[in-house]
Structure 1
Amino acid sequence: MRYCLGLDMPGDAALIAEYENWHTDIWPEVRKSILDSGIVNMEIYRLENRLFMIMEVGPDFSFDRKAAMDAANPAVQRWEELMWKYQVAIPGGKPGEKWRLMDRIFSLQEAL
């Protein structure tokens, strides 16, 4: 299964560069948490100050389970707190919601 999510960043080139630098070598505890949650691959793309994340997940993945795991992991909580410096919630989300799940509107494979 694939999920795509979006997030904004401040329009500050220095902050964007710092954010990208943090992601060149994420903390081992964060990497382990991602894999342990059932995410098998994750990519983040950027266009100016808009981020786009693609997550490939296994059959055991759920957003609720991932949120519970993150809440119980002090290293992930420190990482998330640090990342808020670089992230701006997209309008229309729930309070505290960072990444927003995107709706797929087209699939070439299904259109064939």
Structure 2
Amino acid sequence: MERKGAVIGLDGAGIEEYKRLHAAAWPGVLAKISDCNIRNYSIFLKEPENLLFSYFEYHGTDYAADMARMADDPETQRWWAICGPLQRPLETRRDGEWWAEMEEVFHHE
């Protein structure tokens, strides 16, 4: 199992919409997340900076393949088309990243 953390900005005007969308996340999107071996997925909001922090645990064996399967899913693509314009990727993210991946520097069970 791998723990993953990532951060992205959120358009201040879109905060309520983002919360509303995630309070009623689409069942097909949630099923695809599970199908791609992601568990214990959470997104946190830090205001007034309007930063989203995501955390999840990956329980598969090929992260890149599972993320590609998720990206190929039509319902997930529709979800991202709605949520994506509300997000503000960090300028310091690596090439190919939307959410900037973070290094885990501490963990305690």
- 2:43 aligns with 44
Percent of residue pairs bearing the same amino acid type = 29
- Secondary structure at 1:93 match in 2: coil
**TM-score w.r.t. length of structure 2:** 0.85
Stretches of structure 1 that go unaligned for 5 or more consecutive residues are none
Higher strand content, 1 or 2: 2
Q: Once the two structures are superposed, what CA deviation does each residue of 1:13-67 show, in whole Å capped at 9, x if it has no partner?
A: xx101101100121111001100000011011110110011101214350x1233
Cα distance in 2 for residues equivalent to 1:47 and 1:91: 18
The answer to whether residue 21 in structure 2 is matched with residue 33 in structure 1 is no
Change (3 A) 1:95 1:10: farther
- 2:72 aligns with 72
Q: Quick check: 2:43–2:53 contact (8 Å CA) kept in 1?
A: yes
Cα distance in 2 for residues equivalent to 1:103 and 1:51: 16
Q: Give the Å deviation of 1:96.
A: 6.3
Change (3 A) 1:18 1:106: same
- 1:81 aligns with 81
**TM-score w.r.t. length of structure 1:** 0.83
Stretches of structure 2 that go unaligned for 5 or more consecutive residues are none
Structure number with greater Rg is 1
- 1:56 aligns with 57
